[in-house]
Amino acid sequence: MAAPKVAVVGAGVIGLSTALCITEACPSCSVTVLSDQFSPNTTSDVAAGMLIPHTYPGTPIHVQKQWFKETFTFLFAISNSPEASEAGIHLVSGWQVFKNTPKEELPFWSDVVLGFRPMSEAELQKFPQHRFGQAFTTLKCDCPPYLLWLEKRLKATGVQMHTRKVTDLWDLHSEYNVVVNCAGIGAHQLVGDEKLFPVRGQVLKVHAPWVKNFIRDGDGLTYVYPGIHRVTLGGTREKGSWSLSPDPGTTKDIFDRCCSLEPSLRGAQDIEVKVGLRPSRRCVRLQREVLSRGGVKLLVVHNYGHGAGGFSVQRGTAKEAARLVGECIATLPGSSSRAKL
């Protein structure tokens, strides 16, 4: 049998991570990434890229923990290698603070991040409006550099990248054996998924190199996440809004909220405003589907709907998608189960 041909639709963090896991699990596959946008024009470019999981109500916690752990382990190894600065991956320590003690004092991911502990009274003095807090060290991806690093790795293994808008997955059936749908919020139109909705997020990227620690309000709305070059200040969560236009009133509100957590930000300079649409769903859609028309079949694997946590679970969900691709390949006529899955 000729090398199985796999198309990955989408070049955000999920599409690129999935393409990488497919090349690792099935080196004999010919993989092509098709996308209407590449970095720096994806939602993934707007993200803060912090590894703090978002909870998916429709997915068992042990599965979410596994996805997060696999992602943390993968990125930790990069952060601890000579590739770290090019890949934009670094460790960052800081605090998650709460106005009231949360019901769950120990989140499910507390033993995956490093050094998780309750904050001391002395540390809490930095946050006079907050009564409880957690200190830990996690990883952060600087998003555009990380996406470019993934693209470079893929090209080095022979993956083709083409700019193409796919209006119907079926259009790919004559060219590819398996199609992987990593279209993010684009899947709403591409596969008509009504369970997928946008949660608009506006953030500011500022120059404030003296800010070294992350600060996240436990409500998840206000955060200060220092990256290698810029600090991301957030944010908003506007369910159902498709608007990509920055709102000046929201910019001022975000800035004021962040300054109340970290007053030194009043001296921040060079403020850039970015907006992205989180591809949100009760659970990530990670499953196989067989499309059929006139007796002809197209094998599809879906991997989209990562909402507010795509960077945090990218590797875990990509590995599972690659495993599903392997299952599809094993069903192809003449296959001797090429994928090592």
Which residues are at the interface with ligand FAD (CB under 6 A)? 9-15, 34-37, 42-44, 46-50, 165-166, 182-186, 190, 201, 203, 235, 276, 278-279, 304, 306-312
Q: Which amino acid is at 326?
A: G
Helix axis angle, 143-156 to 13-25, nearest 10°: 30
Nearer to ligand FAD, 101 or 160 (CB): 160
Q: Which amino acid is at 154?
A: L
Q: Considering the complex, what minimum distance in angstroms separates the CB of residue 1 from ligand FAD? A: 28
Q: Which amino acid is at 253?
A: D
The answer on whether 63 is annotated among ligand-binding residues is no
Nearer to ligand FAD, 298 or 338 (CB): 298
Nearer to ligand FAD, 179 or 183 (CB): 183
Residue 58 is classified by DSSP as: T
The answer on whether 44 is annotated among ligand-binding residues is yes
% helix / strand / coil in the chain, to the nearest 5?
35, 30, 40
The answer on whether 166 is annotated among ligand-binding residues is yes
The answer on whether 157 is annotated among ligand-binding residues is no
Q: Provide the greatest CA pair distance for the chain.
A: 70
The answer on whether 176 is annotated among ligand-binding residues is no
Q: Considering the complex, what minimum distance in angstroms separates the CB of residue 182 from ligand FAD? A: 6
Q: Considering the complex, what minimum distance in angstroms separates the CB of residue 323 from ligand FAD? A: 18
Sign of CA dihedral 152, 154, 160, 163: negative
Q: Across the strands, what pairs with 228?
A: none
Exposure of 266 by Cβ count < 10 A (0-12 exposed, 13-18 middle, 19+ buried)? exposed
Q: Considering the complex, what minimum distance in angstroms separates the CB of residue 192 from ligand FAD? A: 12
Nearer to ligand FAD, 233 or 328 (CB): 233
Binding residues: 43-44, 166, 223, 278
Binding residues for D-dopa: 223, 278
